[in-house]
């Protein structure tokens, strides 16, 4: 379903855009006047913020030694890895400035888009400087790490990646001992996120799954490197209230109007069944130390609490008269096992904590990573998170961050004269991806939103 409504663009401003050349001829080139389009990206699935700039070379330069605006084509010889500083401001006065530790680096050589007799249009992709440091052998992860995973994640970011950026860490309940085998930080931390249980009541055996990603930050906006629990992110208060309607004025209690929206995908029965996101999962495990085999199943409903999801309840599959014939009994699809975790090996006795035999021997009978308490829980949680996907466009709002919650009201699709708010598709969503797009004609923000359940929770208008 897609809906589009013409609306005025949000206002915005490119304050400056500078590229620090690796060539001696020109140290800093100011492209502020030549930028045609600038896009800034964040995602809960990306360890780096990113940006794309499209600019036209028409002979313009802000400063020229001979007093004439213009420069030679040879001055444009910038390449991948070069430093970029820029600053943008939205219509609300919120500024995003990228310099010093927040500088961007050019991801690849400039791409030639259009070339004519009087202008050349280039585009460049940029990412954070840590993306380059992450590939350096000096920043590979070595050594042993014991204890709580979030604390080790913070240590790796500070002492191995040596980032100066802010770090936001959610606490975890479980410990996990591991060795760094020359792994890259941006590869290791997402793997550790899958093994982490949030410090919430009764979380063991029910909840698991963290996200590792980067967002913008300053003295007013909270962000940086995030190692966050999915369940704790859903327990935040919504940062904005949006509405889509045909009225000229903005109704009380809302922050802005949605300019257009479209659903990226509805609940897919095949996917939810195959991933076990809405059904039961079975684990088959062999314990090498005890030479025993264990098998059990887990109910996905255990992961739905009152406060850790976007909607009021999870979707129901094959309920009522559509029950399936399974053996001699009839049961809904949600009570059937649809995903197997086969052939898993327990790691009892692997890397027990302690520095002496007297300390390690008592712990060697326990698993280092509890497959039964964590493995399936995180797999189901990730798939639940992306079961409902919605994309909206709003006037440029640079204060929003990936991982924030927003509350939206969308109209019910019906033939009624007075359309009402849809109780099924409206409600709380998490920002999975955002793109701030700035052009000479306006400033917009595109939000890709996700949630794990359906039906609108009551709104809090403040």
CATH number at residue 30: 2.40.10.10
Pick the more confident residue, 109 or 40: 40
| In a shared domain, residues 217 and 154 | yes
User: Could you give the number of structural domains in the chain?
Assistant: 3
Q: What is the pTM of this model?
A: 0.86
The 10s digit of each residue's pLDDT in 351-388 is: 777 777 777 777 777 777 777 778 888 888 888 888 88
Mean pLDDT, all residues of the chain: 81
Pick the more confident residue, 149 or 11: 149
DSSP code for 111: E
Cross-strand pairs, 224? 215
| In a shared domain, residues 171 and 223 | yes
Among 73, 38, 48, which Cα is nearest to 59's?
73
The 10s digit of each residue's pLDDT in 293-342 is: 677 667 776 777 777 878 777 776 655 444 555 555 566 666 677 776 66
Weakest-pLDDT range from 40-54, 107-121, 237-251: 107-121
Q: Which of 83, 107, 128 is the last residue of a domain?
A: 128
| In a shared domain, residues 276 and 228 | no
Secondary structure (H, E, C), 383-452 = HHHCCEEEEEEEECCCCCCCCCEEEEECECCCCCCCCCECCCCCEEEEEEEEEEEEECCEEEEEEEEEEC
pLDDT at 303: 73
pLDDT at 31: 82
Secondary structure (H, E, C), 48-66 = CCEEEEEEEECCCCCCCCC
CB-CB contact of 71 with 41 (8 Å): no
| In a shared domain, residues 331 and 360 | yes
In whole angstroms, what separates CA 29 from the centre of its chain? 33
The 10s digit of each residue's pLDDT in 263-296 is: 886 666 666 666 766 677 776 666 666 666 677 6
pLDDT at 457: 78
| In a shared domain, residues 220 and 122 | no
Q: Which of 318, 344, 379 is the last residue of a domain?
A: 379
Among 222, 218, 213, which Cα is nearest to 88's?
218
Residue 240 neighbours by CB under 8 Å, 6+ apart: 255, 256, 397, 400, 404, 406, 407
Q: Which of 233, 252, 286 is the last residue of a domain?
A: 233
Distance, CA of 454 to CA of 426 (rounded, Å)? 9
Residues above pLDDT 90, as percent of the chain: 45
């Amino acid at each position: 379903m897609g809906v589009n409504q013409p609306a005025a663009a949000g206002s915005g401003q490119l304050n400056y855009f500078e590229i620090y050349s690796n060539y001696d001829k020109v140290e800093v080139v100011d492209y502020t006047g030549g930028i045609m389009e600038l896009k800034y990206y964040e995602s809960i699935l990306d360890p780096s913020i990113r940006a794309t700039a499209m600019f036209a070379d028409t002979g313009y330069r802000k400063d020229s030694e001979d007093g004439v605006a213009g420069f030679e084509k040879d001055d444009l010889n910038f390449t991948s890895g070069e430093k970029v500083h820029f600053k943008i401001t939205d219509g609300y006065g919120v500024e995003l400035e990228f310099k010093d530790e927040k500088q961007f680096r050019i991801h690849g050589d400039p791409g030639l888009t259009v070339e004519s007799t009087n202008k050349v249009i280039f585009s460049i992709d940029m990412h954070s400087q840590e993306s380059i440091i992450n590939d350096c052998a000096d920043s590979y992860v070595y050594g042993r790490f014991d204890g709580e995973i979030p604390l080790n994640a913070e240590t790796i970011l500070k002492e191995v990646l040596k980032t100066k950026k802010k770090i936001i860490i959610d606490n975890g309940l479980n410990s996990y001992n591991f060795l760094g085998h020359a792994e890259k930080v941006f590869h290791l931390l997402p793997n550790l996120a899958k093994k982490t249980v949030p410090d919430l009541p009764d979380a063991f055996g029910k909840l698991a799954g963290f996200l590792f990603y980067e967002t913008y930050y300053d003295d007013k906006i909270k962000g940086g490197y995030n190692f966050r629990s999915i369940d704790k992110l859903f327990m935040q208060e919504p940062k904005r209230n949006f509405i889509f309607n045909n009225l000229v004025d903005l109704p009380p209690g809302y922050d802005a109007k949605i300019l257009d929206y479209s659903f990226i995908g509805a609940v897919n029965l095949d996917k939810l069944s195959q991933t076990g996101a809405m059904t039961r999962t079975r684990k088959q495990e062999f314990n090498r130390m005890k030479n025993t085999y264990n098998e059990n199943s887990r109910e996905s409903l255990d992961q739905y609490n009152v406060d850790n999801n976007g909607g009021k309840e999870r979707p129901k599959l094959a309920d009522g008269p559509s029950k399936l014939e399974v053996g001699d009994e009839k049961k809904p699809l949600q009570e059937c096992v649809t995903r197997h975790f086969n052939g898993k090996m327990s790691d009892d006795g692997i890397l027990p904590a302690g520095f002496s035999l007297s300390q390690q021997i008592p712990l060697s009978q326990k698993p280092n990573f509890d497959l039964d308490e964590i493995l399936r829980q995180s797999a189901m949680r990730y798939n639940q998170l992306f079961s409902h996907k919605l994309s909206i466009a709003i006037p440029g709002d640079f204060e929003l961050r990936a991982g924030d919650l927003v509350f939206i009201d969308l109209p019910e699709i019906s033939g009624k004269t007075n359309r009402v708010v849809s109780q099924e598709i409206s409600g709380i969503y998490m920002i999975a991806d955002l793109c701030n797009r700035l052009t000479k004609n306006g400033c917009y923000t595109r939000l890709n939103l996700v949630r794990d359940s359906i039906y609108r929770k009551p709104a809090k208008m403040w």
